Structure 1
């Protein structure tokens, strides 16, 4: 069995029950493995969570860097960051929930390591907001910190309600959220200013599909 299958089972259970309420035995039962065999693949339950979160946060950071690199204009960079983040959350909802909710479940050393990865990603957003204000592309009364936190939280929330068989496609969700973010900084129809179009999201290896056991 590949570690990817173990991680997918863990993500499914962590997202459904929470990290604290999920035991290593439950993960083993999901995979039809005994605990001893499962430890061979992953080590402790926290080691498993750390591996999942590290992979996801590293992908998030890489995605963010690529989004910002698409344009030199802060207003476009904001649009691409929102498009990328929303796409990732919509295509990887269970992993996104685990990243968003379980960071504080980690022991201090692991918490600090993964917090640094998350902060590295959020620093991309902070720089875009600061530059957008300094060059006059964002409204002068924009509170950069509050707007940044609000936009990221808004994007994270997509994982809680988006369904692939729902009335809106991922691209339609990306467009709406880009326009909402644009309005927060005083720009109408920001999606129309994205010269390269929306970011195509990638499904993470740890994201479960329909579980077949």
Structure 2
């Protein structure tokens, strides 16, 4: 379940982040800058990307570039928030229309893995670069991350879990696992959908056993 490829008017590949930018009230040049910055942040990380690097990629330097951006820090926060919103919108769309709480959790996990394991996705590299950003930047990103995780808070609140299980710990364990699949995943084996189904089956084990008993 990989992200579908979109293309711009010139026929060049357009990332999911780029698709989100097309919905905004931005000039073509401003979109180019955000796309270039997102790609560089994903490729090199926040610390190794400079404003000069971004300007060189789009052919703008000095004052011309700062006409569109306030600072590298503000740019990273904006792109990070857009990327996270793209992921949130996809997950919400995937669970929309489903009523069974376990099916909703499965759809959310599969969609999150599809985003994370897509080699062309910018969303997860930006999210995973959180630790390299300065403390003051991380503080600005936490609000958006908390809002993203609230989706899973709601999904897990609806599950028929054993009352002895702490749902907060359950959620943290699940998100930690989902966020780290990319560290061991290799193409050619199980698909993101297969992995998502297995993860939910493992987290559902006690509920299944109780039902069967």
**Structure 1 length normalisation: TM-score?**
0.68
Query: How far off is 1:168 after superposition?
Result: 4.7
Query: How far off is 1:113 after superposition?
Result: 5.5
Query: How far off is 1:112 after superposition?
Result: 5.3
Three-state SS of the structure 1 residue aligned to 2:94 is helix
Confirm or deny: 8 A CA contact 2:105 2:155 kept in the other structure.
Answer: yes
Mapping of residues 34-73 of structure 1, within 5 Å? 34-73=61-100
CA distance in 2, matches of 1:47, 1:77: 34
Three-state SS of the structure 1 residue aligned to 2:68 is helix
Identify unmatched segments of 5+ residues in structure 2. 1-27, 209-213
CA distance in 2, matches of 1:156, 1:90: 10
Asked if 1:74 corresponds to 2:101, the answer is yes
CA distance in 2, matches of 1:98, 1:146: 25
Instruction: Sort the Cα spacing of 1:124 and 1:111 in 2 relative to 1 into closer, same or farther, 3 A.
Output: same
Query: How far off is 1:152 after superposition?
Result: 1.9
Q: Which has the higher contact order (CA 8 A, sep 6+)?
A: 1
What whole-Å deviation, never above 9, does each CA across 1:37-59 have from its counterpart, x for those lacking one?
A: 22223231122112212212222
**Structure 2 length normalisation: TM-score?**
0.68
Confirm or deny: 8 A CA contact 1:83 1:178 kept in the other structure.
Answer: yes
Aligned length: 180
Identify unmatched segments of 5+ residues in structure 1. 190-213
Three-state SS of the structure 2 residue aligned to 1:41 is coil
